[in-house]
Every structure is written in structure tokens, then in C-alpha cells.
């Protein structure tokens, strides 16, 4: 194994795109900047997905509690829910 191959293996992967790993030495300055932006965007989207999932679950729970409260103050509504 040549010194260049050893150095390349030690160099961290900047981005994996279409199942290909790219290191700094593989990319131009513009590509490095774009890869950096893609990495930041990917992390942000992952955070937003988790927040969206949390919102959906919390909203579903809120609706269940609203229905329970409505049935507790309006007993005839409880009968309507049972018939459906």
C-alpha cells in the first residue's frame, strides 16, 4: 500500500452521495462548501422530522383528552360516541 493510499484512508469522509464516499482531497472548494451545506441541511431535516412526529403524537393525545372532557361534561355526547 502506498503512502498516498494510507493517507487517503485516514482522511475523513466529508459526504456520502449516491453511495459514494467523498473526502476533502476528492472535492473542489465549491464542492466542499456544498457538501457542508448538505450535511447541515440533513441534520436540520432529521431534527424537524423528530419535532413533526412529536407534534403529531401530542396533537392526537390532545384530541383524545378533548373528547374525554367533552364526554365528562356532556353525557349525551358519550352515548353518541358509543353508537358509532
Cα–Cα dist 40/36, whole Å: 6
Q: Is the Cα dihedral 45, 47, 50, 52 positive or negative?
A: negative
Residue 84: is its pLDDT beyond 50?
A: no
Residue 7 has pLDDT above 60, yes or no: no
Q: Indicate the pLDDT class of residue 80, thresholds 50, 70 and 90.
A: low
Which cell numbers in the block locate residue 54? 412529536
Angle of CA points 9, 15, 17, to nearest 5°: 110
Q: What is the pLDDT of residues 15-61, one digit of tens each?
A: 999 999 999 999 999 999 999 999 999 999 999 999 999 999 999 99
Residues 6+ apart with CB under 8 A from 23: 8, 11, 12, 13, 14
Amino acid at each position: 500500500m502506498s503512502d498516498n493510499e494510507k493517507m487517503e484512508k485516514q482522511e475523513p469522509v466529508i459526504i456520502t452521495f449516491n453511495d459514494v464516499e467523498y473526502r476533502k482531497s476528492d472535492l473542489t472548494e465549491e464542492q466542499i462548501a456544498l457538501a457542508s451545506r448538505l450535511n447541515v441541511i440533513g441534520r436540520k431535516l432529521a431534527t424537524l422530522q423528530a419535532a413533526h412526529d412529536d407534534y403529531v403524537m401530542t396533537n392526537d393525545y390532545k384530541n383524545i383528552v378533548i373528547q374525554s372532557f367533552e364526554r365528562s361534561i356532556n353525557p349525551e355526547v358519550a352515548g353518541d360516541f358509543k353508537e358509532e
